[in-house]
Every structure is written in structure tokens, then in C-alpha cells.
Amino acid sequence: MHRTFYLSKHSTTHSPRVCRDSESGFSYLPLIAILAIMFIATGLYMTIGRPDLAVESNQTQAAQPTESATTGQDVSVATVESLLSGLEQRLQREPEDGKGWLLLAKSYDHLGRTAEAIEAYARARDLGNSDLLLESRLVKTAFEAEPPAE
């Protein structure tokens, strides 16, 4: 590396400064390294990876009907129902579990069982657990379900 020493005209301490030659190419080294890494990563992904997997997956899902469409049952609701019964049993054994009551309220809300969700949420709130988003959704749903007063 070629270095040039020079003295500043306005310097009071006559200490030499070091300058690098811009011709040495070191200023472009980080840029070249980044570009090389990008090309290597892209090449490895195209060789080893599966870029066609996302397209293939979407085509497969569009071509096959879902299980709930063929059996007439919503699989996710059935799964939530089975988990819900286990949670209800656990809360019968441990009625002071505020987080469990909050989870039960969210599950009831997910299933559209608003009255039960409100009861479970009230129990959770009494035990010190709350969720403002769930509470506002339950209040809104309960308000919309009430018949207008005449």
C-alpha cells in the first residue's frame, strides 16, 4: 500500500497525516463483497432451494377441495371444540385460574358463543386477567344482539 505523508499548512503541531491512494481500490471492496455474497446466495438458492415450491403449493391447494368442504364439517371448529372441553374440565378442577378463564372466553368468542364468552370473561376479569380487545368485541356483539328498546 502506498501512503503519502504531508503536513497541514494550518496545523500548529507539525504532525504528519496519512492518506491512502484512492487508486488502490479499497474503497470499492465492501461493495464488491456484498455483491459477491448476493450472487452466491442466489445461485445456491436456485441450485439447492425449491423456488418452485410456493407456486406448486398454491396450485395443489386450489386443485384439492378441503376436508371441511367434502365432509360438511368445519375441521378447525371441531378441533377448538375438543380443546374447549378439556379446558372446561381443567377449570372445574382449578376454578381460580384466571388465564384459563380468559382463554375459555376467547374460545367461546371464536365459536360465536357470545353469552358464554361474556360469563367466562367476567370470571377472568374478577380473577385479575383482562383483554381490552376481547372485552370491546364482546360488548359490541352483546349490544348488537340486544333488541332495540321501544
- Non-local CB neighbours of 63 within 8 Å, separated by 6+ positions: none
Residue 150 scores a pLDDT above 80 = no
Angle at 101 between CA 100 and CA 106, to 5 degrees: 95
Of 27, 42, 64, the position where a domain reaches its end is 64
Q: How many residues are there in the chain? A: 150
Backbone angles phi, psi at 72, to 5 degrees: 80, 10
Per residue in 32-73, pLDDT (tens digit) is 999 999 999 888 887 787 666 666 555 655 555 554 444 545
Does residue 118 sit in the same domain as residue 92?
yes
Q: How many domains does the chain have?
A: 2
User: How far apart (Å, rounded) are the C-alpha atoms in residues 45 and 68?
Assistant: 36
Domain match, 50 and 92 both = no
Same domain (yes/no): 108, 49:
no
Q: pLDDT > 70: what percent of the chain?
A: 61
d(CA 98, CA 106): 12
What percentage of the chain's residues is helix, strand, coil (to nearest 5)? 70, 5, 25
Contact call for residues 8 and 17 (beta carbons, < 8 A): yes
57 and 10 in a single domain? The answer is yes
Q: Which of 133, 103, 96 is nearest to 117 (CA)?
A: 103
The whole domain housing 120 covers 74-145
- Report pLDDT for 38: 92
**Which domain-ending residue is among 38, 64, 90?**
64
98 in the same domain as 46: no
Residues 123-139: pLDDT tens digits? 999 999 888 888 888 88
Is 96 found in the same domain as 121? Answer: yes
**Which CATH number fits the domain that encloses residue 98?**
1.25.40.10
Same domain, residue pair 79 and 141:
yes
pLDDT of residue 68: 45
End position of a domain, from candidates 45, 64, 83: 64
37 and 95 fall within a common domain: no
Whether pLDDT at 119 is above 50: yes
Where is pLDDT greater, at 67 or 106? 106
Residue 74 has pLDDT above 80, yes or no: no
- Is residue 69 a part of any domain in this protein? no
Buried b (16+ CB within 10 A) or exposed e, 92-121: eeeeebbebbbbbbbbbbeeeebebbbebb
